[in-house]
Amino acid sequence: MRTRLRYFTSGLISENLVLVLMIGLCPALATSITARDGVGMGIAASFVLIASNIVISAIRKLIPDQVRIPVYITVISTFVTIVDYVMHAYQPALYRALGVFVPLIVVNCGILGRAEAFAKNHGVFDSFLDGLGKGLGFILVLFVMGAIREILGKGTLFGSPVMPLGFRSLPVLFMVFPPGGFLLIGIFKALIVKFVEKPS
Partner 1 sequence: MSLGKIFIAAFLVNNILLMRYIGLCPFFGVSTAIDTAMGMSAAVFFVMILAAWVTWFLYHFILLPFNLVFLRTAVFIFVIASLVQFVEIFLKKSMRTLYSALGIYLPLITTNCAILAVTFLNIDYHHSFLQATVFAVGTAFGFALVIVLFAAIRERLDLAPISKSFKGYPIAFISASLVALAFLGFLGLFGLSL
Binding site for partner 1 (CB under 8 A): 22-23, 25-26, 29-30, 70, 73-74, 77-78, 80-81, 84-85, 99-100, 103-104, 106-109, 112, 174, 177-183, 185-187, 189-191, 193-194, 199
Phi, psi of 157 (to 5 degrees): -140, 125
Least CB distance to partner 1 at residue 17 (A): 12
- Closer to partner 1 by CB, 126 or 149: give it: 149
Instruction: Let me know how long the chain is.
Output: 200
- Residue 164 beta carbon to partner 1: minimum distance, rounded to whole angstroms: 26
Shortest Å distance, C-beta 30 to partner 1: 4
At closest approach, how far in Å is the CB of 74 from partner 1? 7
- If the CB atoms of residues 125 and 182 are measured against partner 1, the closer one turns out to be 182
**Alpha-carbon distances of 83 from 18, 23, 56, 144, rounded to whole Å:** 21, 20, 18, 23
Q: Which is nearer to partner 1, 164 or 179 (CB)?
A: 179
To the nearest whole angstrom, how small is the minimum distance from the Cβ of residue 76 to partner 1?
9
Please, what sign has the CA dihedral across residues 157, 146, 87, 131?
Answer: negative
Q: Specify the residue, 39 or 106, whose C-beta has the smaller distance to partner 1.
A: 106
* Complex with partner 1: residue 28 or 136, whichever CB lies closer: 28
- Measured on CA atoms in the order 38, 40, 42, 45, is the torsion positive or negative? negative
